Amino acid sequence: MHPKRWLPLLLAMPLATACVDAATPPSAQASTAGVQGQSLQELMQARGLTEADVNAALKTYTPSGKKDEYFIFASGGHGGNLIVIGVPSMRILKYVAVFTPEPWQGYGYGDQTNDLLKTGSRDGRALTWGDMHHPALSETAGDYDGQYIFVNDKANPRVAVVSLEDFTTVQMVASELIESEHGSTFVTPNTDYVIETAQYPAPLGGGYADLSEYDTKYRGAAIFWKFDRKKGRIVPEDSWAVEFPPYMQDLADAGKLASDGWAFFNSINTERATGGNLEGKPPLESGASQNDMDYLHVFDWKKAEEVVKAGKTKTIAGMRVIALQTAIDEGLLYFVPEPKSPHGIDVTPDGKEMVVGGKLDTHATVYSFEKMQQLIADQKFDGRDPYGVPILPFRDAIRGQAEIGLGPLHTQFDGRGNAYTSVFIESKVAKWSLKDLKVIEKMPVHYNIGHILAAEGDTVSPDGNYVVAMNKWAIDRFADVGPLLPQNFQLIDDRGPSMQLLYDLPIPLGEPHYSQMIKADKIKSIDVYKPAGINALTHQIDPFAVKGGEERIERKADGVHVYMTAVRSHFTPDTVRVKEGETVHLHITNIEQAKDATHGFTVGSHNIHVSLEPGKHVNVTFVADKPGVYPMYCTEFCSALHLEMAGYFLVEPK
């Protein structure tokens, strides 16, 4: 008998008996073995739990049927997908397929999603992975509005749009202007633009130039992708970019409220080191760490928009680009020194200040937008960089510096005037006061924290309440699973007098970078596609949608068209006969309108798999190139007769 069948019996047993598992090996770790009773005291003792553990458990435990207060949208890193996590339970709710084929969702196994993935090709090359770093929720007046989320691919510079109406990817844009990116994606306060910034300089628009021509031919850039909210799409024709010197632009953030209309980018490698450690040069990392100061880029995108409208651009790789010299001449771009090989630039909720993590410097430096504006108005510069960009004097542009510790990276905010900075080398979260720039508390995390996130943390009205440390290393936190370890998200409660660690969530996908946390009730997702026949990409009725009673097989010039419906528990037609070599077009509509009545569909041995959520329509095109008998069946356990939801795909020899 399948173990699952024993489950009801097991559940009917008294808890104390059911929990005793004689096969559990004795271990130093918390264990339920030997629990004889079920009082809280007895359970605590048996599992070796402290009162603090139980307190943390009660703050995260979410009983069956109860829902979470917040959603985290986490980058799935090299997995190229988006991870949706509930807070405070830290339960993983969904992976949203973006840059990588994902079989369960049928993403990359049917016509619509194949075409979508193709739009993310670069240089005509199909790409099946992505290096996702920074998801950005769409904003209205600086607050997350729960409508869209944008994500980037650092390795193959691309930006994707995910609709939160149904948690599916609806668009991908890839500009061949740049060859890598990182400061991406960040949105302006009304999601007019999605910002994508290059990281490793290269000749703009592609092509070859030797590293010896780095200073003259290599460039950085930031792309401002224009977002049309009504269409829910990025409009490439209305998008534009600005050329930067060949420094490695790193993180970015858009100004808000006081600083709305401006964008900020930090940079590393203003040394313009190129590596070459077998060619007698220092390795890139030491070459890039010589200067005590790099440059924070301060950019007036509102004014830049006018410059673009006035046609003062050149077109590279189909993109209108403001040349660096134009950006200087038009007063769009300024630099301010920032110590030292920094990482992380975060605009405070009121938009008045910009916080930069020093990385190789122990401070978080707090820049004053007002002071920078005054310096620009007074044309008070501390010289220019080798490309002619005016440099604002460091001391006059900052309000001060908070002494954070070793390796400050990213900063988030709560609604109570506090900032939280990830401290990489120390493996700590530093909570500090924005008012007096003093550290209030430092909390150890496990280990090597990269990004940090707070509830609604990038908005004009952050909640705080929960902070998550996104740790790159887990070393000793979880049971051993071989040399490749999960990353560790640690949920921290910051509501009390001191920060409290609540929960460790192993992330078995590499490697998540940034995440955002939004109030769950801001997301209004649909649960069925209505009416039946919707194409999930366009959110419109698909031209090939099939109605119940209109199922048929038609032979046309371009092959065999199979108009099929799925409903518990059969496909109609359930027998499909084709001839060897024929092109087959399957058009399948799940005509059900009941929540969670999802079917899957596969034809064996043809690398076909689609997900048919209620009301969804999917098209699949392939060539029946090998004669044979191929079972086709439903892949979701949809009903008692699910196993019988099957049929035959017959390919007759020529």
Q: Which of residues 606-645 bind ligand RUQ (CB under 6 A)?
A: none
In the stretch 369-408, what mask flags binding to ligand CUA with x, by CB under 6 A? Answer: ----------------------------------------
Of residues 447-466, those binding ligand RUQ (CB under 6 A): 450-451
Q: Cα(156)–Cα(196) distance, rounded to whole angstroms? A: 12
Pairing of strands 240-244, 319-322: parallel
Binding residue (CB under 6 A) for ligand CUA from 132, 460, 638, 651: 638
Which stretch, 204-212, 300-308, 326-334, 629-637, contacts ligand CUA (CB under 6 A)? 629-637
- Asked if 618 is part of the footprint of ligand CUA (rule: CB under 6 A), the reply reads no
Which residues inside 500-539 make contact with ligand CUA, applying CB under 6 A?
Answer: none
Q: 642 contacts which partner out of ligand RUQ, ligand CUA, none, CB within 5 to 8 A by kind?
A: ligand CUA
Give the C-alpha separation, 184 to 280, whole Å.
34
Q: Minimal CA–CA distance to 251: which of 195, 332, 208? A: 195
Q: What is the footprint of ligand RUQ within residues 406-425 (CB under 6 A)?
A: 409-410
Q: Could you say which of 599, 606, 609, 617 contacts ligand CUA (CB under 6 A)?
A: 599
- Residue 513 engages ligand RUQ in binding (rule: CB under 6 A): yes
| Partner from ligand RUQ, ligand CUA, none binding residue 172, C-beta < 5-8 Å depending on class | none
Q: Is residue 642 a contact residue for ligand CUA (CB under 6 A)?
A: yes
| Structure tokens that stand for 98 in this block | 């973006």
Half-sphere exposure of 143 (CA within 13 A, CB side): 8
Q: Indicate whether 429 belongs to the interface with ligand RUQ (CB under 6 A).
A: no
Candidate list 173, 404, 468, 645; residue touching ligand CUA; CB under 6 A: 645
Shortest distance, position 410 Cβ to ligand RUQ, whole Å: 6
Query: Number of residues in contact with ligand CUA, rule: CB under 6 A?
Result: 8
Q: Which of residues 169-198 bind ligand RUQ (CB under 6 A)?
A: 182
| Rounded Cα–Cα distance for residues 486 and 206 (Å) | 36
Query: What per-residue string of b and e applies to 73-93 under the rule 16 or more CB within 10 Å gives b?
Result: bbbbbbbbbbbbbbbbbbebe
- Residue 273 sits in the site that holds ligand CUA (CB under 6 A): no
Q: How far is the CB of 475 from ligand RUQ (least distance, A)?
A: 17
Measured distance between the N- and C-terminal CA atoms of the chain, rounded to whole angstroms: 45
Q: How is the beta sheet containing 646-652 ordered, strand by strand?
A: 575-579, 646-652, 628-633, 599-603, 610-612
Residue 514 C-beta: closest distance to ligand RUQ, Å: 5
Which of 382, 383, 417 minimizes the C-alpha distance to 397? 382
Question: How many of the chain's residues bind ligand RUQ (CB under 6 A)?
Answer: 11
Q: Which CB sits closer to ligand RUQ, 408 or 450?
A: 450
Please tell me whether residue 104 binds ligand CUA under the rule CB under 6 A: no
Query: What is the CA angle 214-262-324, rounded to 5?
Result: 25
Nearer to ligand CUA, 432 or 630 (CB): 630
Q: What are phi and psi of 571, to 5 degrees?
A: -100, 140
> Using the rule CB under 6 A, is 158 a contact of ligand RUQ?
no
The SS3 of residue 38 is: coil
HEC assignment per residue over 95-140: EEECCCCECCCCECCCHHHHHHHHHCCECCECCCCCCCCCCEEEEE
Q: In the complex, which residue's CB is closest to ligand RUQ? A: 450
How many CB atoms neighbour CB 9 within 10 A?
Answer: 9
The stretch among 71-79, 246-254, 580-588, 638-646 that binds ligand CUA (CB under 6 A) is 638-646
- According to CB under 6 A, which residues from 116 to 135 bind ligand RUQ? 133-134
Rule CB under 6 A: is residue 78 a binding residue for ligand RUQ? no
Minimum distance from CB of 491 to ligand RUQ (Å)?
18
Binding mask 250-279 for ligand RUQ (x = CB under 6 A): -x----------------------------
Q: Which is nearer to ligand CUA, 256 or 599 (CB)?
A: 599
- Find the shortest distance in angstroms from Cβ 445 to ligand CUA: 43
**Taking CB under 6 A as the rule, which mask of x and - marks residues 359-398 in contact with ligand RUQ?**
----------------------------------------
Residue with tokens 């409009």: 235
> What b/e string do you get for 267-277 counting C-beta neighbours within 10 Å, with b at 16 or more?
bbbbbbbbeee
Closer CB to ligand RUQ, 469 or 645, in the complex: 469
Which partner, ligand RUQ, ligand CUA, none, binds residue 617 by CB below 5 to 8 Å per kind? none
User: What are the backbone dihedrals phi and psi of residue 349, each rounded to the nearest 5 degrees, phi first?
Assistant: -55, -35
Confirm if 504 and 488 have CB atoms less than 8 A apart. Answer: yes
CB atoms within 10 A of CB 5: 8
As beta bridge partners, residue 419 has 413, 432
Binding residues for ligand CUA restricted to 560-589, rule: CB under 6 A: 569
Residue number with CB closer to ligand CUA (106 or 255):
106
Q: Can you tell me the distance from the alpha carbon of 4 to that of 12, in angstroms, rounded to the nearest whole number? A: 14
Q: Does 636 bind ligand CUA (CB under 6 A)?
A: yes
Residues 316-345 touching ligand RUQ, rule: CB under 6 A, are 343
- Of 38 and 575, which has the nearer Cβ to ligand CUA? 575
Compute the distance between CA of residue 644 and CA of residue 631 in angstroms, rounded to an integer.
11
Residue 599 binds which entry of ligand RUQ, ligand CUA, none, CB below 5-8 Å type-dependent: ligand CUA
Q: Which residue has the tokens 């371009």?
A: 558
Indicate whether 248 belongs to the interface with ligand CUA (CB under 6 A): no
Of residues 19 and 646, the one with the C-beta less far from ligand CUA: 646
CB 169 within 8 A of CB 160: yes
451 binding partner (options ligand RUQ, ligand CUA, none; Cβ < 5 to 8 Å by kind): ligand RUQ
Q: State the Cα angle at 132 between 308 and 446, rounded to 5°.
A: 130
Minimum separation from the CB atom of position 632 to ligand CUA (A): 12
| C-alpha 403 chain-centroid distance | 30
CB of 533 to ligand RUQ, least distance (A): 40
371 three-class SS: helix
Question: Please, what's the b/e burial string for 25-57 (b: 16 or more CB within 10 A of its CB; e: otherwise)?
Answer: eeeeeeeeeebeeeeeeebeebbebeeeeeebe
Q: Which residues bind ligand RUQ (CB under 6 A)?
A: 133-134, 182, 251, 343, 409-410, 450-451, 513-514
Q: Which residues bind ligand CUA (CB under 6 A)?
A: 569, 599, 634, 636-638, 642, 645
